[in-house]
Chains A and B, each alone.
Chain A
């Protein structure tokens, strides 16, 4: 039995878990290709027009897998933490896919909803496993094994290995050399880790000799504690992690700049990005850059903003070190 896992949305957070789980049960797992122009084009053509870029990309991945597999893995991810939701589009994803794309193979669209409690965890796991086997013992041990893989993956990211396109980079993105700039790259993981969708922002920053800090590299529990101090509870899970990261960074200040990558039309970011930007500006003087992405493939706009941002940081640093500001020969009289 072939199960296709599309390389989009929850993929970047959870795929080692799902892949190991189904492989341990004896199914063959097929991943869609990393996002490319064709996938983006197909996705954009076959998605409701008001969807955000990552949702369009996911549709492209499903089309990529459509003719290769027996089942496509599109779980209905409602909630993974108590009292929180992920995103309204995640909740309705199986329907969106079903009515937008023709000839979709049967979907594994089990509901993941721990909004009330986690008590139903094992029932959910069995439901996922029963697509392959009815043997609950087998499912138990497959889940235990998958969980191990998943924890390793999380640990590797925490150690600085970026999962670009879901594949862990060989080296940590922390160079460790003194004097290098570190920039926090914030945004929804499925946008940042998608090399094509994010316009190669990670590679571009690396080429500009920047160390990259991602929210996933910080202790999630601590980030959640930070966002719990907000006046009103943040009930979007991605938003909670990002907000916590911003609060942590604004307090600790051991960072040279923050770049927030958002997709055009993201409902959660319309609040969260705004809150984060205000918080960064009112509680720190850390440079902040917002990059909004959509279906563009012309990269000049992103390059200009990134280059100018790095220039600005370099310039500021020189100034702080009481060295001459940019080009003393120009500015000094």
Chain B
């Protein structure tokens, strides 16, 4: 039986699951669309990742990250629940020697993380606006009728990129349409869009930050060679896209789970069998006070297994009491 660690990154667009062995080798990885149904995505991810490994495995630790980290942690029984920034940082440090800058573009988030002497020294995330993230690229690709996989390759073919306004996704879209109507070809518009997104990223997140090499580009959008090329042109240096760039957050979780295991030598993992459990989510608005919290209740096979969303902890705490009484 082989010992391994499980990492799950539940993001807005994709849910990523990774199994890592004790020597930090990636045994299996799954990149699946969240499609607004994180519970289904986690179940699908677990099932697929398990089916990729033929031998018997023993999961010694589990970590979760991403905006759905608490949901995933509740489902699988996680040992470590961490934010995406720390997870991405730890993964990059381990897989790229001496990395000093991480550029990460995901579905709804973009971040820049600066590392010095092997620790995170500064970071920034996009503010209230999600312009220039993966979901925007997806939308534009769909509008132009190009599969998102071919988007980057097409940008590389551009001879004379057009200039697209990059500050705001709505401006960018109308600018693109106007340029199309003038007769510019698709390659040039797409390259122009890549340049605009990179310009926007560096202006907003990179503002005032010292971007030193080696630079790593990760997250789902790193698969887009057009954006990578635009980054290289803008920064005037080579950019590394690690082989597992799309699941780096999940890999970071595996690494943190491994460390937790070394310290504590125990795991709360509930086993792969949970993929057969039925999960239901009920939401209700608590009207006991003026806060009007939106409380979420998660049922596993009809039993309430978690509640959150309440500011006062009443629903959350009530559940704990009920569980204690049962036990």
Contacts and interface: CB of A to CB of B under 8 A. Distances in A.
Contacts of B255: 327, 330
A136 interface: no
Nearest to A295: B128
Nearest to A319: B119
B67 interface: yes
A281 B124 CA distance: 13
A331 B255 CA distance: 10
Interface in A294-308: 294, 296-297, 300-301, 303-305, 307-308
B175 to A, nearest CB: 23
Interface string A300-333: 1101110111011001100100000111011100
Nearest to B24: A330
Interface in B72-117: 82-86, 90, 93-94, 117
User: Is the interface on chain A under 10, 10 to 19, 20 to 34, or 35 or more residues?
Assistant: 35 or more
Contacts of B311: 200
B208 A326 contact: no
A264 interface: yes
Interface stretch (A10-18, A23-31, A33-41, A92-100): A33-41
A292 B128 contact: yes
A288 B114 CA distance: 13
- Interface of chain B, helix or strand or loop or mixed? mixed
Given A278-B208, A304-B83, A312-B123, A331 B94 contact: yes
B256 interface: yes
A319 B294 CA distance: 41
Contact of A308 (B94, B123, B289, B291): B123
A297 B85 CA distance: 21
Nearest to B293: A37
Interface residues of B, number: 33
Nearest to A36: B290
B176 to A, nearest CB: 25
Contacts of A308: 83-86, 120, 123
B86 A37 contact: no
Contacts of B258: 329-330
B128 A281 contact: no
B238 interface: no
A307 B67 CA distance: 12
B122 A326 contact: no
B303 interface: no
A314 to B, nearest CB: 10
B278 interface: no
Contacts of A37: 290-293
Nearest to A332: B118
A319 B117 contact: yes
B292 A38 contact: yes
Contacts of A281: 208
B149 interface: no
A196 interface: yes
Report the 8 A-B pairs with minimum CB-CB distance, sorted nearest first. A308-B85, A36-B290, A327-B259, A37-B292, A292-B127, A307-B83, A308-B83, A304-B83
Interface of A: 33-34, 36-39, 196, 200, 264, 277-278, 281, 285, 287-288, 290, 292-294, 296-297, 300-301, 303-305, 307-309, 311-312, 315-316, 319, 325-327, 329-331
Interface of B: 67, 82-86, 90, 93-94, 117-125, 127-128, 208, 255-256, 258-259, 262, 289-294, 311
7 contacts: A36-B290, A37-B292, A264-B127, A288-B122, A304-B125, A308-B83, A326-B90
